[in-house]
Amino acid sequence: MPIEFEAPKPILQTQFILKTVADEMMRPRSRYFDEHEHEIPWDYIEFMHLAMKASSGSSLAPRENGTRKMDGEKEKHPSIGYQLIATQIESLAYGDLGMYHCLPGGALGAAAVHAAGTPEQKEKFLARFKDDKPTFAAMCITEAGAGSDNSAIRTRAVLDEKTNEWVINGEKIFVTGGDKSFSEYEKLGKGFIVVWATIDPSAGRAGMRAFVVEGGTPGVKIVRLEHKLGIRVSDTAAISLVDVRVPSDHLLGSPVVVERSTSGFKGAMATFDATRPLVAASGIGVARAALEFLKEKLAENGVQIRYGLPRQKLSNIEREVIDMEIMLKSAWLMVIKATWMADNKKPNALEASMSKVKSGDVATKITQKVVEILGPLGYSREFLAEKWMRDAKITDIYEGTGQINRLVVARQILGYSGSELR
C-alpha cells in the first residue's frame, strides 16, 4: 500500500480549524500561563472540550477501529486515525505546547489502556472521555532511578486474595497531567492514572503490569507539582501510593507472569509505539511556530527567502532558513510514516523511535537557531521565541530521551535485544 503524500481532506480541515484555535485561543495566553505556572487554563479546557464534542469526538484518542467521523461521515478505510491525531497535535503545539498538554482527554493514560487493556477494559475506562465534563487521564511509569530503564521500577502490586484487590505501594515522579487526572475539581469529570508496578520483582520485565487507579482513590497523594524550564502550564506531578487498593480487573491485560516473557513490558512498549510519533508531531509544531515567526520578522526587515536560487547565490540567513525548512519537512515525513504504519496495523517500533529522535533534534535545533538569528529579539520575553526554545527541549526528553530512542533504533536495525545493547 503506497503512502499518499497529498493530505486527505479531514487532515486539511483539521489544520485549518486548529490554526484558528492556535492563533485565537492559545497564543494570546501563552505568556500569561508561562508566567503563572500551575494556573489551570479553564476557559481553554472548556472551549476545547465543547469543540471536540461538537466535531470528531471527545478526545484525541483514536477510535477503536482506527477511524474517526468528520463532517458526520464515517471515514472510509484505510484508516487515518493516528495521522489525524498527529496533525491535531502538531497544530495545537504550534499554538502552545504546554496548553496542548491541557487538552481534555485520555492522553498517555488512555493510550496505555488502548495498548494493554482487554476489549472490556477499553469499554469500561475509555467511555468517560465522552462525558459532559472535560476529563483527564495520565500514565505513571517513571520513578527515581527508573526512567530510561523503566524495567527497574520498584512500585509493587500485591494481590489480596481475600478481597480480590491489588494493593499498590510506591512513588512516581514526573507524571504529565497527574493532578488534573487524579485530583477532584468541580469543573472536571472523574479521571484516572495508569500506574505501572511489578507484581513479581524476581521476574524483571515479565512482572511489570499496568493498573488503572481511579481519581480520588484513598492512599494516593499528589506530593508536589514540578517547577519546570518549559511547558509550565502543564502539570507534572510527583505521586505517592500507600496501600492503594484497586479491584482485580483494574490490572490491564493478564495477571499471569510467564517467566522470562516480556509480555508486561510489551504493554509499555506498545503504548510508546503509538505515542512517540505523536510526541514527535508536537515537537514539529513548536519548531514550525519558531520558524514562521523568524520568517515574519525577516520579512518585516526586508529579507525575503529567494527559493530556487543556486545555494551559492543565497545569503547565509536564506541558507539557514531553507535548511531548517528541510529539517522540519523531513521530520514531519517520518511522523507521517510512523503514524501511517500504526493506522495500517504494521509494527512501527523502529519508525516510532526514529521519528521521535529526529523531531526531538529538529525541534531543539530550530528553536535555538531562531533565538540565535533574532539576537536580542529572540532572547527578549517580549516575544515567544525564547519560550519556544524552553518548551521544545522536553520533546527530546519525555517518552524516551533522544539517547534511549537511538538505542531502540540501533537494536531494531541490528537485531539485538535490550540486554545485548544498552
**193 scored as a contact of ligand FAD (CB under 6 A):** no
The letter for the amino acid at 181 is: S
Which CA distances in Å does 396 have to 332, 356, 384?
Answer: 15, 8, 20
139 part of the interface to ligand FAD, by CB under 6 A: yes
β 192-198/137-140 pair status: parallel
Q: How many residues bind ligand FAD (CB under 6 A)?
A: 23
Among 79, 142, 198, 395, binds ligand FAD (CB under 6 A): 142
Residue 352 contacts ligand FAD per CB under 6 A: no
Which one among 198, 236, 275, 348 touches ligand FAD, defined by CB under 6 A? 236
| 210 in contact with ligand FAD (CB under 6 A) | no
- Shortest distance (Å) from residue 223 CB to ligand FAD: 15
111 vs 328, which CB is nearer to ligand FAD? 111
**Which sequence positions are flagged as catalytic?**
399
Distance CA 374, CA 189 (A): 43
Distances (CA, A) of 41 to 104, 166, 183, 235, 379: 11, 35, 16, 11, 26
Cell readout for 21 is: 484555535
Q: According to the binding rule CB under 6 A, does residue 349 interact with ligand FAD?
A: no
The grid cell for 157 is 502490586
> Nearest CA to 327 among 362, 371, 370?
362
Q: Does 422 interact with ligand FAD (rule: CB under 6 A)?
A: yes
CB 106 within 8 A of CB 137: yes
Q: Is 141 in the site for ligand FAD (CB under 6 A)?
A: yes
Residue range at the interface with ligand FAD (CB under 6 A); choices 7-15, 49-57, 174-182, 184-192: 174-182
Residue 175 sits in the site that holds ligand FAD (CB under 6 A): yes
Q: Which region among 7-15, 92-100, 209-217, 398-406 touches ligand FAD (by CB under 6 A)? A: 398-406
Closest separation between CB of residue 397 and ligand FAD, Å?
Answer: 5
Beta-carbon-side half-sphere exposure of residue 239 (alpha carbons within 13 Å): 36
Among 147, 170, 267, 277, binds ligand FAD (CB under 6 A): 147
Q: 246: exposed, middle or buried (C-beta count within 10 Å: 0-12, 13-18, 19+)?
A: buried
| 201 CB burial (10 A radius; 0-12, 13-18, 19+) | exposed
> Shortest Cβ contact with ligand FAD: which residue?
147
Q: Which residues contact 275 (CB under 8 A, 6 or more apart)?
A: 108, 111, 399
Residues 154/198, Cβ–Cβ less than 8 Å: yes
**In this structure, what C-alpha cell is assigned to residue 136?**
483527564
Residue 403 interacting with ligand FAD (CB under 6 A): yes
Stretch that binds ligand FAD, among 9-17, 253-261, 290-298, 396-404 (CB under 6 A): 396-404
Q: Which three cell numbers stand for residue 207?
A: 512482572
Instruction: Give the DSSP H or E segment for 359.
Output: helix 349-374
Q: Is residue 148 involved in binding ligand FAD (CB under 6 A)? A: yes
262 binds ligand FAD (CB under 6 A): no
- Enter the C-alpha cell of residue 25: 485561543
Q: Given the complex with ligand FAD, which of 44 and 272 has the nearer CB atom?
A: 272
Stretch that binds ligand FAD, among 19-27, 42-50, 61-69, 393-401 (CB under 6 A): 393-401
Asked if 404 interacts with ligand FAD (CB under 6 A), we say: yes
| Share of the chain residues as helix, strand and coil, in percent rounded to the nearest 5 | 55, 15, 30
User: 182 or 340: whose CB is closer to ligand FAD?
Assistant: 182
In the region spanning residues 104 to 123, those forming contacts with ligand FAD, defined by CB under 6 A, are 108
Alpha-helical segments (H) within 55-104: 81-95, 97-100
**Three-class secondary structure of residue 422 per DSSP:** coil
Task: Please tell me whether residue 368 binds ligand FAD under the rule CB under 6 A.
Answer: no
Q: How far is CA 128 from the centre of its chain?
A: 20
Q: Is 176 in the site for ligand FAD (CB under 6 A)?
A: yes
Q: Pattern 7-46, binding to ligand FAD, x per CB under 6 A?
A: ----------------------------------------
User: Residue numbers of the site for ligand FAD (CB under 6 A)?
Assistant: 108, 138-142, 147-148, 174-176, 228, 236, 394, 397-401, 403-404, 407, 422
